[in-house]
Structure formats: C-alpha cells, structure tokens
DNA sequence: GTTACACATTGATATATATCAATGATTATG
DNA sequence: CATAATCATTGATATATATCAATGTGTAAC
C-alpha cells in the first residue's frame, strides 16, 4: 500500500481569545502526575505551542523527517506505523489523549515512523531543545521525562510478552484491557470507549489476520465478555477479560 | 520453575592496585559515544562503583527489589526475565559488555525483572540519584541518557515487529543478526561469538518452542549460512542471513 | 439515487509450528 | 567413577491461525 492522501499540513486552531493554560488542561502525562510547582508549570507553558488541530488521515510526522518536538495528544487519536521496503505497513502503536508522541525519535533525531490521525485530533507541541534546556534546571521535569521513557520501556516489554507468548484470544483480550486502562488513567470511561482504528489496524498491531480479529470479537460477544457494536466497545465482564488475557498456560 | 540457587551476593573484586578508570575503559555506552569532556568523565567516574564481579547463576537484581542503580556490563553476559504467577519464565532480554541494565526500573523505582548472570561477569554500578544530579549539570550526560533510553525504545519496537510479524526462521535470523551487530558496535567480532544462553532461553525469548530453535539452527547450518557448534556461532553468509531476516512477504 | 469502494463478517482449507516422544550429548553430583 | 540431571537433537502428530473465497454493510463519489 502506498501513502494515502496528501502530506500533512498542520493548521493552527483559532484561539478565539480562549487562553487555555497547562494549569487547567491537566492532560499531558508530562505535567500532571509529576510534582511540578505552579511556577515550573508556567515555565513549561512558555515553551509549549498549544492546541494544534490535525485532520483525520493527516500526518503528524513521516519517516525521515527531522525530529524537533514531542507532541502531547489533547484530543482524538493517532496510529504510528512503519513501511517496509516492500511497502507493507507495520502498525507500531496507538496514541490517545494525555499521551506523548515522538519519544522514540530522540535517539536518532529523525522520525522513524509515520504518525497519522485516526480522527480529527488536536495536539500540543513541545520543542525538544527547549524542553531539554528546561529539564536541566527543573529536577522534577527531568525526573518526569525519564520516568515517562522508562514507563514506555516497561509497556513495550509487556507488549513484547503479549506478542511473543500469547495466543490470538489472549492478545485480543490484553489489547482491550490495555486500552481500557489507558482511558481510565486519563479520566475517561474504562467500561466503554471507541475503537477509532480499523480492524485491519488492530490485526496488524497484534500480528494477527484481520479475519482472526473479527472472529475473536464475535466470540467475545457470544461469551458475553464484551459488547462490540462496530466501533463502540463496552466491557461487560472485566474479570473474565483479565482472566482471558492472563491465562497463558492452559492454551500452551 | 522456582528460583534456583541462593540470592545473589555481589562480591567486590580485589582491586590489586590496578586503578582502571572510565577514561581507559571506554566500554559503557553512557560515556563513549557521547561528547563528554575529560573533566565531565572524571565527575562521572567519581560516582561510579567500579568492577563488581557476579558469579554465574547469581542475580544482579530480583523482582520487587528497590531500584537504586543502573549497571553497566563490563564483561560476561546476563539474561533478564519475569516470572508469571503460574511460575513460568519469560525471558525479556540479554545484556552484553557495554550495555546498561536497569533502565526500565526507573519509572516504578522497583525492579520488575530478575537479572541473572549467564556466566561469571562483571559490572560497574551507577547510583541513579547521583547520576540524575550530575545530569542536571552536564547537558551532554542528560542528552546521552535520553538518547540511550530512546534507543532502547527503538530496539524494543524492532523486536516487537520481529515477534509479532515474523515467522520462526526470520526470528532466528534476526536474533543472530542483532547479536552480531551489538558485538560489532562494542568492538567485538561480528562474525564469531558465543551464545552464552541456552537454547531454551533463546526459544523463550523468541516465543518459539525449543525444538523449533534446534531445527532452525540445524537448517541454518545445512544451508551454510551460519555454523553453530554448541555455543559458538560463526556467521558464514552474512548477506543470506540479512535476506532471511528481512523477508517478511514471501512467507506470508 | 446509483455505483463504487473500503471495511467487516463468516466458512472451508492449508500450513507453520507446538506438542509429544525417544535418544544422545554434556555437565553436575555424590 | 558412576549416576543423575540438564541441555540438545530429531521424528511423528496435533492444532492454532493464516489464507482463500464469498457475502454483507456502511460510507464516499458522481
């Protein structure tokens, strides 16, 4: 599959004199769980470009582009993927409000993935050089950045377990649980949320065939564990889902 | 499988008046590829506890232990793994000279894995608090730490691709190539090296059955791509190995 | 409103790899 | 030195999931 549509062109949302500040936003994991003081948040605020809108299907970044900023998702959702030489897509992750995009590009100073909006979304832009300078001063910011990265490492390791050792049903269950947890952590409903990505994205991400994903979803409904109506997921039996995701012995 | 043997007890190697300095050691990725000045390296040196020996089978850390330091591998090798509730082992990674252990524990301040010496090895210990303080002062050190973590994120993503999308032969080839590259980057031979881990470790890490790994090794020899004599690997046809690891289309 | 196109579901079949089983080789233990 | 224990190899069989194929459904295009 080739690149669809035109290259991204990020459009600044009209601010309409509504000056939203980081203090009230409380969404990015960079500010919130950390112990930044008000004045520290203010300094962070100064370097952040706030509330940029990205239309559905547009790119936040593309492979090969120079890395300059991190993005914090404000609303909407994104998928990241790589393209192999043969042109096949490898979905590497999904991003939801409160999450940081671009951490993996720090080391090479170049983006290694395509990041595409799954719906019309908005992000804050964090120029990395300035962020880095600031973190020299602010111990808690430095700590928080390392923490976020370390956290990502842990998440990746978990995903690794999932993909290498779990069967299809376990992967699907773990995927839904992970989404549920991420939404919960950011103050959204953990019981009911939207799958903004396609079945094909999910299948690709989980290393499964799209037909397998479809069948698994059907089965989860039959077993009355989750209810999935097209895009809308409702988790009915959370415990059963956990059990399904965790059980790695019986299946082997 | 339960925990084998006793808990680690790290023994200080007799220094024998040989004061090895980081300046001459040049092994850790923390110091070397970075642009630290001599005086900066000296400051780093002051906080590092050098050359601790770890016997084969002993633990560098265990799940649940408090995170206090990172370790830089000097010699030997380690494996990291988790234990599920049911007691089965999940090998999460291998560590060789020059590589840093413990980055994933930063976020939770607690070790989430067991790290076990595959052979008698030695490490340098980097107290994290002091390292963090120092990185507030030294911009390049800060940069280097983020770079290392970002790099790990990239590596993990690659591994993720490998485990979710590649078949057994591709995984095995990619595993050997990745080892080869890592050894090369640290100045060791890329053509010939030791598999210090068991077949079972490899199989577990790659999400394959041990028998499959064995068969693949046999096949790689038959095809005259690599020569594996018990633990010793010799890469004969590097190009063929790359081709094998990369091909993800033909197999699907 | 009709046509086209991406997305999703369901069934039949093929295949890669796990599992089971037997044996050999190497390393540790008394 | 003998015996056990771990690790590795090889073959036969079972099974989970990919692939192929057909159909349905919703959304965009004209």
Pairwise CA distance, residues A79 & A173, whole Å: 19
Q: Where do the structural domains in chain A lie, given as residue ranges?
A: 9-154, 166-245
Instruction: Judge residue B189's burial from the number of C-beta atoms within 10 Å of its C-beta, 0-12 exposed, 13-18 middle, 19 or more buried.
Output: exposed
pLDDT of residue B85: 79
**Can you tell me the mean pLDDT for A162-191?**
92
Name the residue among B84, B137, B149 with its Cβ closest to that of A248: B84
Task: Record the tokens describing residue B67, joined without a space.
Answer: 């995170």
pLDDT at residue A3, rounded to an integer:
35
Residue A6, pLDDT score: 36
Q: How far is A139 from A147, CA to CA, in rounded Å?
A: 12
Tell me which fold the domain A166-245 belongs to. Arc Repressor Mutant, subunit A (1.10.10)
**Per-residue model confidence (pLDDT) at position B22:** 65
- Cβ of residue A105 closer than 8 Å to a chain B Cβ: yes
Nearest CA-CA distance, residue A160 and chain B, Å: 6
**Which helix or strand (DSSP H or E) is residue B74 part of?**
strand B69-75
pLDDT for position A124: 92
Q: Which of A164, A207, A243, A247 to mutate to test the interface with B (most CBs of B within 10 A)?
A: A164
Select from A108, A94, A95 the least CA-distant residue to B153: A108
Averaged over A152-157, what is the pLDDT? Answer: 90
Query: Å between A231 CA and D25 C1'?
Result: 14
Binary contact (B159, A159; C-beta < 8 A): no
Which residues from chain A sit within 8 angstroms of residue B178, using beta carbons? none
Q: Is the distance between the Cβ of B230 and the closest atom of strand D smaller than 7 Å?
A: yes
Contacts of A115 in chain B (CB under 8 A): none
A29 touches chain B (CB under 8 A): no
| Longest CA span, chain B | 59
CATH number for the domain formed by residue range(s) A9-154: 2.60.120.10
A84 contact B CB<8A: yes
Q: Which of B108, B142, B163 sits opposite A160 (nearest CB)?
A: B163
Both tokens of A208, joined, read 């499964």
**Using an 8 Å Cβ cutoff, are B93 and B126 in contact?**
no
Interface check A210 vs B, CB under 8 A: no
Give the model confidence (pLDDT) of A101-148 as tens digits: 999 999 999 999 999 999 999 999 999 999 999 999 999 899 889 989
Judge whether residue B251 contacts strand C, using its CB and a 7 Å cut-off: yes
Q: What is the structure's pLDDT at B6?
A: 35
Portion of chain B with pLDDT greater than 90, in percent: 61
Q: Which range is least confidently modeled, A10-19, A53-62, B120-129, B184-193?
A: A10-19
Sign of CA dihedral A234, A235, A237, A243: positive
The per-residue pLDDT of chain B, averaged, comes to 85
Write down the mean pLDDT value for chain A. 85
The angle, 0 to 180 degrees and rounded to 10, between the axes of the packed helices A168-185 and A199-206 is 110
**CA-based torsion, A13, A15, A16, A21: positive or negative:** positive
Q: Would you say A36 and A106 are in contact if contact means Cβ atoms under 8 Å apart?
A: no
- pLDDT score recorded for residue A24: 61
> Looking at residue B181, what is its pLDDT?
93
Rounded to a whole number, what is the distance in Å from the CA of B64 to chain A's nearest CA?
14
The pLDDT, as a whole number, for residue B50 is: 82
Pairwise CA distance, residues A77 & A116, whole Å? 9
Show the DSSP H helices in B119-167 as ranges.
128-137, 139-165
This prediction has a pTM of 0.86
The angle subtended at Cα A122 by Cα A118 and Cα A126, nearest 5°, is 120
Kindly state the helix (H) or strand (E) to which residue B202 belongs, with its residue range.
helix B199-206
Q: What residue ranges of chain B have pLDDT lower than 50?
A: 1-19, 248-252
Instruction: For the beta carbon of residue B208, count every other beta carbon within 10 angstroms.
Output: 22
The full length of chain B comes to 252
pLDDT at position A251 is 34
Strand partners of residue B101: B71
Task: Give the integer Cα–Cα distance in Å for B164 and B159.
Answer: 8
Taking CB atoms within 8 Å and a gap of at least 24, the contacts of B214-221 are: B216/B168, B216/B169, B216/B172, B217/B172, B219/B169, B220/B172, B220/B173, B220/B176
- Contact call for residues B126 and B48 (beta carbons, < 8 A): yes
């Amino acid at each position: 599959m080739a690149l669809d549509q035109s290259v991204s062109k990020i459009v600044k949302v009209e601010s309409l004199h509504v000056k939203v500040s980081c203090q009230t936003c409380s969404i990015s994991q960079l500010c919130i769980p950390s112990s930044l003081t008000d004045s520290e948040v203010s300094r962070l605020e100064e370097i952040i470009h706030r509330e940029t809108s990205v239309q559905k299907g547009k790119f936040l970044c593309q492979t090969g582009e120079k890395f300059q900023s991190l993005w914090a998702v404000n609303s909407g959702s994104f998928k990241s993927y790589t393209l192999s030489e043969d042109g096949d897509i490898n979905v590497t992750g999904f991003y939801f409000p409160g999450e940081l995009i671009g951490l993996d590009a720090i080391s090479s100073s170049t983006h290694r993935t395509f990041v595409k909006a799954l719906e019309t979304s908005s992000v804050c832009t964090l120029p990395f050089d300035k962020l880095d300078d600031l973190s020299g001063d602010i111990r808690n910011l430095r700590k928080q950045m390392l923490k976020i990265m370390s956290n990502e490492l842990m998440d990746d390791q978990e995903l690794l377990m999932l993909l290498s050792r779990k069967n299809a049903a376990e992967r699907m269950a773990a995927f839904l649980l992970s989404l549920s947890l991420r939404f919960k952590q950011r103050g959204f409903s953990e019981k009911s949320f939207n799958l903004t990505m396609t079945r094909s994205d999910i299948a690709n991400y989980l290393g499964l065939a799209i037909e397998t994903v479809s069948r698994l979803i059907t089965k989860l409904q039959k077993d009355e564990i989750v209810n999935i109506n097209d895009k809308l997921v409702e988790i009915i039996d959370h415990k059963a889902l956990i059990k399904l995701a965790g059980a790695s012995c019986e299946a082997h």
